[in-house]
Structure 1
């Protein structure tokens, strides 16, 4: 028992250490081989091809291992969180040494093993492996669809031969192609069956440089299609149009309002009452009133600012470092940068909270540090429980969970607290241009489409319209294992999204204030944040119309992690909308002369 506890502690500390100090390192190999040097084939997972996230350890199926020493392989926390537990296959491959029909191992299957293998073949199970960090995949077997109507049960065959075609340039591997063959039938009536698994290796020279070897795995015809370019261009034009329209409308309208107010200053009270007395100036005594649920709003502002900064940093870092070419590196880097940006969340939240006179800053810090990790814990915990029930490789081991908890306790929370202390003591100033009236001004009745709920519901359409094409490419990449590499497109769309959100929030708030409704704080936040609801609705359409996903595990995984994506969009766009609106409100009211 003590040995097991020590082993868990050692694993936890090792994963934490590797995460913090070896995030962007590649494999432990330098990808340089000498003739005759071992090339390890790491077996990863196996699972149904239509449910790409429903994965299981490769040797959970009745495959056998080679004679080489079997080793488990972890590099980063990202791999552990994505269920990558690479195991040495034991396939004896030596650099530049051809092999023809060599035996890997022999496996004796009983009737239960045969039925398990038949189930895998019938459900189109495929496996993934890595050779020199290059992903390789193949089907477990093949069902005889030609005899679908003639035979019952359906004849099933398992592939027992792996043909590796490895292209090399000098002392480096450039590409690996796998061809499966030698079909062996799996009769359901047999009580025992012996399978002999074999492999062959063919080496081919190539002139392709090592630096560009990953490009042949990228589907340029899909991601760089004319539709993708057209969507980027149309979104950019929409931003130009919307920004110009907002600028013209607001400049002309506010200029007219200022002229009218200045003209009315020379009138008597009786004349002013008979005049056109309405508009955003009338709520100057309430517009800077403390918003309801201040602590929650300030925590969402802190989390949103952190996520905006995190998203921008990760996209730029991925563009610079080509992180998509390394296993789970983007996830590992995201965790690392999320930890570092925790200071921003604490600073933003505490500064906003204190600017409106908030006093319970300790609870504010705890809520800010916990709001996003708490949602990840609840949803991730549910999905992980389902993965454990299905014995999936996606189940996160307890030592890895301890590592994540340690990162939050010893890094995220202290940095959030430090940011809150700085924001509360040096960043918060209550310097609103207008004083707040002791009694709130009554809110006049409005037409139904000018009510805050309708503005919020309609406000998320334009931001969603600017990104829904890119959302399609991102969904297709993540849920079908295409390698997303056009992060330049993503950066441009991200900037467009922020600009559209800021414009929409400002316009919505102006219309609200002009109807003498001072409840702009939550409206400016939720108007843009409602885009997350449209994203989640689109994910439902994508699940039903574009995928063939089935089963409780895949459904839980899909909608659980899509909910986390929607939450991130909710916080990010809510922060952008509210921050832009806050600058706008302060600007227009500081230029108004209040009697």
Structure 2
């Protein structure tokens, strides 16, 4: 019952699938114009409250409903009442709703905003609309003072909103600005469920190069799977034949005759990985992240999460919380099979590894956001809510998964006996060293996804709404297959060189994909964007590092899992005691 009450509280807290109203209006019902944020056009994440600029609000200061979720607070959404009176199907001719006396301070604020190309965002019935503060003409600074709203309706629902900025006024100190608005209602045939289509950009996301990249990655998968199957099966067949051809020779002679190859390390290949506590925590977290990514992409395909503010983030937090038993199960069972005794410590590290990484990064960036008075600063109440989710949802569920994992799959079942004394690792050529293998292992997986990375980066760091989650799911599956194939080949080469340190090597070999993603993120920042300033730079590189770290854990886990199955298969086929 405690867990049930906790889940109910979390769902209510997240509000992932709740809305402020049902989007149905009767004639003359109030329609709220929410003012959200304002900020530089080229720095999308550097946003400030709309009224941080000396804009003025209308006389209306009370509404019948309000809507804000935890995910909106995390994303810097700051909805404030505009004070502009709008009623359903009621046209409003040009009218003054407020005025501002431009003293020296307010004049400088508007000039700074115009000079830095400030845009603002508003919402009407959850539909976003954008406007520009002003423009520079011949070294003069002008501000738009008239907002013309054209709102389309279909029956009792709002299906389209457009804004036109008019009445360009020269900014002059010690003058008064009068802000006006106009509302025009138009009947529209757009269906309510299709009203977000105007915000999508099919010509960009469904460009020919996007389809070509998917086809190219798919061909790479076929090639790699075929190559891995051909090389490994032919090589292993020869190895099996060589290792089993002299069945009539006694064990000592057969052992003396095998002086090379992967069979030589059969007594050490299942030796526990170094730093097994950290390793098992990473593997548990990676299984959970893999499940979360697949689930969220599936929900996004089925539910069109991009149509609701903050719904994608809310869904991600909710899915991550409820999949915590996956983390505990795989991490706890692996740690038990490796002979670990500090299972409570391992469970705590596994439960808080990713949350601590996320919260630590957000906490550091939050200091900069607070210094800039940006809307991206996370409120204290939201921090408390996230902490409660970690302590009262993620931790107990991870504990449940750990106990199940240790009891159901925690017994060692290696096909080969582990020697008491580790075998010395012979010298090998430089390109067979684990460090070189790790760096080369991420090249092909990155090559299979880097085009999709461009579309994802553009949607997050520019004014695009990502909606082609079918593409993302396909690329995600391709990435996992390529990672497994590449990691198996690298591990086989390492074992053939009589180096049994395959656990960490297979993990880091796949995880190095994220290193190349981060390198691409650096390139994208300098050559594909016009971002500037300390806040935007820290925000970009901080969260891209977090994104890359999550990808490293996920890819590393998938690579290790595939390699583990392969290693168990080859050593169980060759019967060795």
Q: Structure 1 length as normaliser, TM-score?
A: 0.93
Is 1:195–2:177 an aligned residue pair? Answer: yes
The answer for the alignment partner of 1:81 in structure 2 is 74
Structure 2 CA distance, aligned partners of 1:347 and 1:99?
61
How far did residue 438 of structure 1 move? 1.1
The answer for the alignment partner of 1:104 in structure 2 is 97
Equivalences, count: 570
The superposition leaves residues 539-563 of structure 1 with CA deviations (integer Å, 9 ceiling, x where unpaired) of: 0000000000000000010001101
Gaps of 5+ in 2: 1-6
The answer for the alignment partner of 1:128 in structure 2 is 121
Q: 2:83 aligns with which of 83, 90, 95?
A: 90
The answer for the alignment partner of 1:373 in structure 2 is 355
Aligned partners of 2:152 and 2:158 also within 8 Å: yes
How far did residue 271 of structure 1 move? 6.7
Gaps of 5+ in 1: 1-12, 148-153
Q: What secondary structure, in the 3-state scheme, does the structure 2 residue paired with 1:167 have? A: strand
- Counting only pairs closer than 5 Å after superposition, residues 227-266 of structure 1 correspond to structure 2 as 227-266=209-248
Structure 2 CA distance, aligned partners of 1:74 and 1:211?
20
Q: Which moved more, 1:33-42 or 1:119-128?
A: 33-42
Q: What secondary structure, in the 3-state scheme, does the structure 1 residue paired with 2:175 have? A: strand
Is 1:385–2:328 an aligned residue pair? Answer: no
Q: 1:297 aligns with which of 274, 279, 282?
A: 279
Structure 2 CA distance, aligned partners of 1:164 and 1:291?
64
Structure 2 CA distance, aligned partners of 1:532 and 1:323?
26
Is 1:332–2:332 an aligned residue pair? Answer: no
Q: What secondary structure, in the 3-state scheme, does the structure 2 residue paired with 1:69 have? A: coil
The ranges of structure 1 where at least 4 consecutive aligned residues each deviate by more than 2 angstroms after the TM superposition are 13-20, 70-75, 264-277
The answer for the alignment partner of 2:21 in structure 1 is 29
Q: Which moved more, 1:396-405 or 1:88-97?
A: 88-97
Structure 2 CA distance, aligned partners of 1:252 and 1:244?
12
The superposition leaves residues 79-125 of structure 1 with CA deviations (integer Å, 9 ceiling, x where unpaired) of: 01001120110111111111111111112221111011100000000
Aligned partners of 1:16 and 1:77 also within 8 Å: no
The answer for the alignment partner of 1:4 in structure 2 is none
The answer for the alignment partner of 2:3 in structure 1 is none
Structure 2 CA distance, aligned partners of 1:594 and 1:46?
69
How far did residue 481 of structure 1 move? 2.5
Structure 1 CA distance, aligned partners of 2:402 and 2:82?
50
How far did residue 273 of structure 1 move? 7.4
Aligned partners of 2:20 and 2:67 also within 8 Å: no
How far did residue 270 of structure 1 move? 8.7
Q: 1:45 aligns with which of 30, 34, 37?
A: 37
The answer for the alignment partner of 1:63 in structure 2 is 55
Structure 2 CA distance, aligned partners of 1:291 and 1:264?
33
- Counting only pairs closer than 5 Å after superposition, residues 323-472 of structure 1 correspond to structure 2 as 323-472=305-454
Aligned partners of 1:64 and 1:106 also within 8 Å: yes
The superposition leaves residues 431-456 of structure 1 with CA deviations (integer Å, 9 ceiling, x where unpaired) of: 11111111111111111111100000
The answer for the alignment partner of 1:306 in structure 2 is 288
Structure 2 CA distance, aligned partners of 1:70 and 1:33?
18
Is 1:180–2:165 an aligned residue pair? Answer: yes
The structure-2 alpha-carbon separation of the partners of 1:311 and 1:169, relative to structure 1 and needing over 3 Å to count, comes to: same
The answer for the alignment partner of 2:130 in structure 1 is 137
Aligned partners of 2:11 and 2:318 also within 8 Å: no
Aligned partners of 2:38 and 2:121 also within 8 Å: yes
Structure 2 CA distance, aligned partners of 1:85 and 1:278?
66
The answer for the alignment partner of 1:516 in structure 2 is 498
Aligned partners of 2:503 and 2:560 also within 8 Å: yes
The structure-2 alpha-carbon separation of the partners of 1:110 and 1:45, relative to structure 1 and needing over 3 Å to count, comes to: same
Q: What secondary structure, in the 3-state scheme, does the structure 2 residue paired with 1:522 have? A: helix
Structure 1 CA distance, aligned partners of 2:313 and 2:281?
24
Q: What secondary structure, in the 3-state scheme, does the structure 2 residue paired with 1:158 have? A: strand
The answer for the alignment partner of 1:322 in structure 2 is 304
The structure-2 alpha-carbon separation of the partners of 1:62 and 1:373, relative to structure 1 and needing over 3 Å to count, comes to: same
Q: Structure 2 length as normaliser, TM-score?
A: 0.96
Structure 2 CA distance, aligned partners of 1:215 and 1:92?
27
Structure 2 CA distance, aligned partners of 1:485 and 1:539?
21
Q: What secondary structure, in the 3-state scheme, does the structure 1 residue paired with 2:194 have? A: helix
Structure 1 CA distance, aligned partners of 2:16 and 2:332?
30
Q: What secondary structure, in the 3-state scheme, does the structure 1 residue paired with 2:101 have? A: strand
Aligned partners of 2:333 and 2:402 also within 8 Å: yes
How far did residue 132 of structure 1 move? 0.8
The answer for the alignment partner of 2:464 in structure 1 is 482
Q: What secondary structure, in the 3-state scheme, does the structure 1 residue paired with 2:353 have? A: helix
Is 1:591–2:573 an aligned residue pair? Answer: yes
Is 1:171–2:165 an aligned residue pair? Answer: no
How far did residue 232 of structure 1 move? 0.5
How far did residue 572 of structure 1 move? 0.4
Structure 1 CA distance, aligned partners of 2:12 and 2:393?
15
How far did residue 33 of structure 1 move? 1.3
Structure 1 CA distance, aligned partners of 2:69 and 2:12?
6
Structure 2 CA distance, aligned partners of 1:503 and 1:454?
17
Aligned partners of 2:20 and 2:66 also within 8 Å: no
The answer for the alignment partner of 1:7 in structure 2 is none
Structure 1 CA distance, aligned partners of 2:228 and 2:255?
31
